[in-house]
Amino acid sequence: MSSSHYQQIQRYFSELIANKALLAGSKLPSEREIGEQFKLTRITVRQALQNLEAEGLIYRQNRRGWFVTPPAVVYDPASYLSFNLYVSEQGCQPSTQKLAQQLEPANAHIATLMGIPEKTPVLFLHRRRYIDQRPVLIEKMYINIALLPGIENEDLTQSLSQLLKNKYQLEYHNMDLFFKSTSLPAHAANDLGISAGQPGLHIERINYLTNDENNKQVLEIDYEFWRHDAVTINISIRD
């Protein structure tokens, strides 16, 4: 059977969490305490904790300790609902913080996708989003201001889909999505307040104005970096 020592620790905490003996958000004993309890060295303890982290059962806060992961939110990037509505419908409290907003010349990739000349200004928006005060998502968005004049003067901590609907009478439900399960790049890990190399989910989204394949107008290109343990993606495909 699975008899290595670190697996015993893993099972121990797995069961505590499954049985709700350890509730979401609560703190685990320190690595040194666990080591004493099981008569194992810290390295062995850390191996177990890192595996539990990979499973998404626990997460760490830099030099503060290990904590039980709250349940993942179900998120549908293609939904009519915004992040805010989604999260609150699931009984959690969403919030959004704007980290940066500026006009930037489009790089080659962005320009090609948007069908605009390179170095045309686009609106860069950098946001951090929270679920129950826990930072879970970094967004970096490039917005086609040619299609959305004046958007830079709006409150950009709110839901973009709401804003487009209310101010521009636009709804985008045509998009290309790319998902990749990989570790968080340094900048995203930094923004999330965790150490680089933690596992994450990387989403690239290209939002189109129309569903005309021959005249694709790109409203917005969105890069999302999620904590891997914070979200389950749900998409319904209907023809």
Partner DNA sequence: TAACAAATCTGGTATAGACCAGATTAACGA
Partner DNA sequence: TCGTTAATCTGGTCTATACCAGATTTGTTA
Among residue numbers 155 through 174, which ones bind its own copies (CB under 8 A)?
173-174
Whose CA is closest to 175, among 91, 113, 130?
Answer: 113
Cα dist from 151 to 41, 106, 164, 167, 180, whole Å: 56, 17, 9, 9, 30
Q: Rounded distance, CA 191 to CA 149, Å?
A: 29
- Name which of 142 and 225 has its Cβ closer to its own copies: 225
Helix (H, G, I), strand (E, B) or coil at 87: helix
Q: Rounded distance, CA 226 to CA 213, Å?
A: 30
Residue 44 touches which member of its own copies, DNA, none, C-beta under 5-8 Å by kind: DNA
Q: Judged by CB under 8 A, does residue 18 bind its own copies?
A: no
Q: Judged by CB under 8 A, does residue 180 bind its own copies?
A: yes
Q: Judged by CB under 8 A, does residue 43 bind its own copies?
A: yes
Among residue numbers 52 through 71, which ones bind DNA (CB under 7 A)?
60, 62-66
Residue with tokens 């129950």: 132
Residue with tokens 């150490």: 195
The tokens for 143 are 């917005």
**Binding residue for DNA, selected from 4, 166, 210, 215, defined by CB under 7 A:** 4
The CA-based diameter of the chain, rounded to the nearest angstrom, is 66
In the complex, minimum distance from the CB of residue 26 to DNA, in angstroms, rounded to a whole number: 13
Q: Rounded distance, CA 231 to CA 86, Å?
A: 12
Give the interface segment with its own copies, choosing from 28-36, 51-59, 108-116, 129-137 (CB under 8 A): 51-59
Give the interface segment with its own copies, choosing from 95-103, 155-163, 196-204, 214-222 (CB under 8 A): 196-204
- Name which of 43 and 103 has its Cβ closer to its own copies: 43
* Residues at the contact surface with DNA, assessed by CB under 7 A: 4-6, 28-33, 39-44, 46-47, 60, 62-66, 195
